[in-house]
Amino acid sequence: MGESPMPGAIAEPRAALPSPPGATAEPKPPSPPLPPGTLIYDGDCGFCTATARWASRRLNDDYRVVPSQQSDLAALGLTHADVARSAWWIDPDGTRSDEHQCIAKALRAMRAPWPALGRLLTLGPISPLARWTYRFVAGNRYRLPRFGSPTKCDR
């Protein structure tokens, strides 16, 4: 028995609260672990597909590289307009990064020497230039070479 705040009184043990209807005492099985990061890219773009393949070869197997056309965009908190505008990096906690921040996170997840370049892209004076460069390339990606990708690049 525990001590009562009133001298001479005896504290009664607390009764367990009743379970809500339909509740089970068995714990839910654990969710499968989320990948440490997922790169979402435009699979209709040959330049994007070739770049994603390049990234995939440099990331370890724990990371996922997935075309937006094969992604559950709503579950990721993205829209078709979002993925038409930018590639996306999704962290396990659901944090989303786009444009040059996406590229920087993907580079930081790769084997050396790429993490250093990823950190460089987010430095104060370089970040605005990296953002502008990303937007320029993304806006002209259908004009860029396909680098051997069989994907159609016409838009």
Q: Where are the domains of the chain?
A: 38-143
**Residue in 155, 153, 154 with CA at minimum distance from that of residue 46:** 153
- pLDDT tens digits along 112-121: 999 999 999 9
- pLDDT tens digits along 7-58: 554 545 444 445 445 544 455 454 455 588 999 999 988 889 999 999 999 9
What pTM was estimated for this model as a whole? 0.73
Measured CA to CA, the distance from residue 49 to residue 55 in angstroms comes to 10
- Per-chain mean pLDDT for the chain: 81
Tracing tokens 């987010």 back to the chain, one arrives at: 122
- pLDDT tens digits along 100-135: 999 999 999 999 999 999 999 999 999 999 999 999
Identify each DSSP E strand in the chain by its residue range. Answer: 38-41, 64-67, 88-90, 96-98
Strand-pairing partners, residue 40, are 66, 88
Phi, psi of 8 (to 5 degrees): 85, -10
